[in-house]
């Protein structure tokens, strides 16, 4: 029995986070015969095995984050709160995210604004809370760079997304609840995405191995110029810990604020 436990621990790399950390037997099914209109409903995961509501993420190797278009903001030219649908590869919605922020911050702090993003499942239950404080994003202020706090369920911190100083490339780390680095995210030197996808590579901490990517999808000139909708794809191993997947969803929100909200790629 002891040798089997040791073998399981050895296969995990960083216990509880990297691929191989868990493989729960979940029963997931969809509620409609039309994939695009389907939403996921969860079966009965083993009690206490995962944070409540994150069982939706346990078998996914692609998570799509779609920003909803705010027509009122487009017409009036005002900054409205961001809203996102989070879907699987079949287009089935698994979560819905809404930004909470005050109008003053959206107007005067713009993309640097402090806010909270509340992520609910299809029953309306809040399962993930993303807190973003007001911080700098300039390489000239390396001590006060961007950071997100990820809670799942709300009130329980499971990780952070932290910007790291680099003079040339956008770099971030995924951290656990103790602020220990788990993975790194390295973006390209140019993030305008005018004529193609923008890929942020997900790497091990030493940056020797790429295990996935977060992509801002290019949807064409007409869509990108005449709407304010951004689409992201999170490509990761299916057995990556769900807490890390939740943090990567938060990273998508952060990238949207930092690089695409007022760029040519997102206007």
pLDDT in tens, 252-261: 999 988 887 7
User: Does a structural domain hold residue 40?
Assistant: no
User: Does a structural domain hold residue 3?
Assistant: no
**More confidently predicted of 7 and 55:** 55
CB 93 within 8 A of CB 34: no
The whole domain housing 225 covers 55-260
User: Does a structural domain hold residue 42?
Assistant: no
Residues 51, 29: Cα–Cα separation, whole Å: 19
User: Does a structural domain hold residue 37?
Assistant: no
pLDDT interval class at 67 (50, 70, 90):
confident
User: Does a structural domain hold residue 119?
Assistant: yes
Q: Tell me, what's the pLDDT at 222?
A: 42
What's the total number of domains in the chain?
1
Which tokens belong to 120? 């609910």
pTM here is: 0.75
User: Does a structural domain hold residue 188?
Assistant: yes
Count of CB atoms within 10 A of residue 219's CB?
15
Q: Tell me, what's the pLDDT at 138?
A: 61
Averaged over 210-239, what is the pLDDT? 76
In this predicted model, what pLDDT tens digit does every residue of 8-38 receive, in sequence order? 433 333 334 444 333 333 333 334 444 444 4
- E-strand ranges in the chain read 28-30, 40-42, 62-67, 83-87, 93-100, 115-120, 126-132, 147-151, 157-164, 171-175, 181-186, 198-203, 210-216, 231-235
In this predicted model, what pLDDT tens digit does every residue of 151-174 receive, in sequence order? 999 999 999 999 998 888 899 999
Looking up residue 149, the CATH number of its domain turns out to be 3.20.90
How many CA atoms does the CB half-sphere of 260 hold within 13 Å? 28
CB 93 within 8 A of CB 85: yes
């Amino acid at each position: 029995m002891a040798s089997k436990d040791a073998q399981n621990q050895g296969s995990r790399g960083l216990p509880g986070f990297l691929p191989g950390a868990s493989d729960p037997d979940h029963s997931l099914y969809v509620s409609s015969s039309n994939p695009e209109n389907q939403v996921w409903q969860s079966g009965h995961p083993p009690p206490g095995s995962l944070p409540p509501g994150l069982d939706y993420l346990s078998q996914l190797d692609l998570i799509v984050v779609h920003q909803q278009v705010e027509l009122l903001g487009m017409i009036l030219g005002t900054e409205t709160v961001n809203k996102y649908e989070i879907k699987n590869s079949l287009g089935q919605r698994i979560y819905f995210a809404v930004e909470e922020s005050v109008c003053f911050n959206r107007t005067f702090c713009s993309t640097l604004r402090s806010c909270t993003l509340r992520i609910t499942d299809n029953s309306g239950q809040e399962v993930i809370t993303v807190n973003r404080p007001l911080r700098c994003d300039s390489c000239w202020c390396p001590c006060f760079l961007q950071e997100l706090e990820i809670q799942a369920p709300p009130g329980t911190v499971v990780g952070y997304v932290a910007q790291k100083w680099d003079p040339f490339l956008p770099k971030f780390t995924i951290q656990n609840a103790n602020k220990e680095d788990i993975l790194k995210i390295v973006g390209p030197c140019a993030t305008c995405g005018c004529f193609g996808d923008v890929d942020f590579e997900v790497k091990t901490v030493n940056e020797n191995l790429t295990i996935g990517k977060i992509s801002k999808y290019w949807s064409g000139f007409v869509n990108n110029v005449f709407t304010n909708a951004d689409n992201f794809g999170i490509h990761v191993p299916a057995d990556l810990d769900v807490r890390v997947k939740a943090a990567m969803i938060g990273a998508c929100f952060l990238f949207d604020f930092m690089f695409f909200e007022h760029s040519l790629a997102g206007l």
